[in-house]
């Protein structure tokens, strides 16, 4: 595995002075004003009042005007912080945590949303069991037009603490940010998001799972919006997406039970490589040759297990067929 572990994460200190509500719903926003009203309305529909819930939008120096949306939808009920310069996703998330005064922190991106019952469903177990580090629910991936696209895999048939969740999550990313609420004290123990990695969410949720038991609610109560983006596209074209996953897997190893760390790490690397090869096949058919080559290259740098090498041979045959068809079309 040709990747070094991630560095120490930014520190998270105690909450700012002032009243401590039960919840802090912190909404990082960047160029998503067109979706922000839906986000805010989904929270305000469950708002127990300022004594119990802090709601804040942290605008990372957007080109649009999220402040106008906040004022139109929420008036003075929602705090608005506008950074004088762009901090980047990881740093803005850390500012959200640092400014959170509540016992329970929900990070809700400005283009995501929650469904009715989200806060009640996650609050009950977290208040009942102080040992829980976090609670999360099943999520729905939605399109830009808010229509449902896919439903996250079911982790357990009934609500409760997940057995062996750390090992499951270390095998591969299974969460999206809007579906999880984390105790602020857990962030204080493990630190913030690492802005240096492109897969900062997976890195964080594994560390949260290592900090204590995690509760699962099978009802799909969070909405994660899938939007195309140039950053993601460039990461795939360069192979940085797979490189970042290798770095997180290397760091995850230190959090795993020593007697199982090698096996879980090898499985995670193999799964990452197989996923890269499946992605490469799609890219090949789309004519994205550079991205195809980058994904194949990084897959081989990640794992050379028998399953990966077998899939690579199959992909090679597909590549030959695609090249033959292209040559034939050029001759016509």
Q: What is the helix (H) or strand (E) element at residue 82, kind and residue range?
A: strand 79-82
Q: Residue 322: pLDDT band by 50, 70, 90 thresholds?
A: confident
Span 51-78, average pLDDT: 97
Structure-model confidence comparison of residues 99 and 5, the more confident one: 99
| Contact of 83 with 60, CB cutoff 8 Å | yes
Tokens 């090249």, located at residue:
323
With 50 as the cut, is the pLDDT of residue 279 above it? yes
* Rounded percentage of the chain residues whose pLDDT exceeds 70: 96
pLDDT score of 327 more than 90: no
- Model confidence at 7: pLDDT above 70: no
Kindly state the tokens that stand for 217. 């609610």
184-193 pLDDT, tens per residue?
999 999 999 9
Give the mean pLDDT of 221-235.
79
Q: What average pLDDT does the segment 88-98 reach?
A: 96
pLDDT (average), residues 301-305: 97
Encode pLDDT of 196-208 as tens digits: 877 899 999 999 9
pLDDT at 231: 45
- CA gap 247, 3 in Å, rounded: 5
Mean pLDDT of the chain: 94
DSSP assignment letter at 60: -
> Which pLDDT band, with edges at 50, 70 and 90, does 233 fall under?
confident
What's residue 25's pLDDT?
98
Taking only the tens place, the pLDDT of each residue in 54-65 is 999 999 999 999
pLDDT at 227: 82
Confidence (pLDDT) at 230: 42
Instruction: Please report which confidence band the pLDDT of residue 126 belongs to, taking 50, 70 and 90 as the band edges.
Output: very high
Give the per-residue pLDDT at 1. Answer: 46
Q: Is the dihedral of CA 172, 177, 178, 182 positive or negative?
A: positive
SS3 content of the chain, % helix, strand, coil (to 5): 50, 15, 35
The Cα–Cα gap between 176 and 154 comes to 14
Query: Tell me, what's the pLDDT at 28?
Result: 98
**pLDDT confidence of residue 229:** 54
Examine the pLDDT at 5 and tell me if it is beyond 60. no
Position 329 scores a pLDDT of 80
């Amino acid at each position: 595995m040709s990747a070094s572990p991630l560095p120490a994460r930014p520190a998270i200190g105690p909450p700012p002075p002032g009243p401590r509500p039960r919840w802090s719903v912190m909404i990082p926003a960047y160029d998503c004003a067109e979706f922000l009203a839906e986000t805010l309305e989904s929270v305000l529909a469950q708002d127990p009042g300022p004594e119990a819930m802090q709601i804040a939008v942290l605008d990372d120096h957007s080109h649009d005007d999220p402040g106008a949306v906040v004022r139109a939808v929420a008036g003075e009920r929602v705090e608005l912080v506008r950074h004088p310069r762009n901090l980047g996703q990881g740093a803005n998330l850390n500012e959200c945590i640092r400014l959170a005064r509540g016992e329970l922190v929900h990070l809700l991106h400005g283009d995501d949303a929650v469904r009715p019952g989200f806060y009640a469903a996650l609050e009950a177990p977290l208040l009942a069991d102080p040992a829980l580090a976090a609670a999360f629910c099943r999520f729905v991936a939605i399109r830009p037009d808010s229509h449902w696209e896919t439903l996250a895999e079911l982790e357990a048939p009934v609500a409760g603490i997940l057995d062996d969740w750390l090992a499951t999550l270390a095998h591969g990313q299974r969460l999206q940010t809007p579906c999880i609420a984390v105790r602020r004290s857990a962030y204080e123990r493990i630190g913030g998001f690492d802005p240096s990695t492109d897969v900062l969410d997976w890195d964080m949720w594994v560390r949260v799972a290592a900090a204590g038991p995690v509760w699962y609610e099978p009802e799909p109560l969070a909405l994660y919006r899938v939007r195309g983006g140039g950053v993601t596209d460039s990461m795939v074209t360069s192979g940085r997406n797979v490189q970042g996953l290798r770095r997180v897997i290397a760091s995850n190893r230190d959090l795993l039970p020593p007697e199982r760390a090698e096996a879980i790490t090898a499985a995670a690397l193999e799964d990452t490589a197989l996923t890269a090869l499946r992605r490469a096949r799609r890219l090949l058919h789309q004519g994205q040759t550079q991205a195809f080559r980058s994904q194949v290259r990084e897959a081989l740098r990640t794992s050379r297990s028998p399953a990966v090498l077998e899939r690579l041979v199959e992909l090679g045959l597909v590549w030959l067929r695609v090249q033959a068809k292209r040559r034939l079309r050029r001759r016509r």
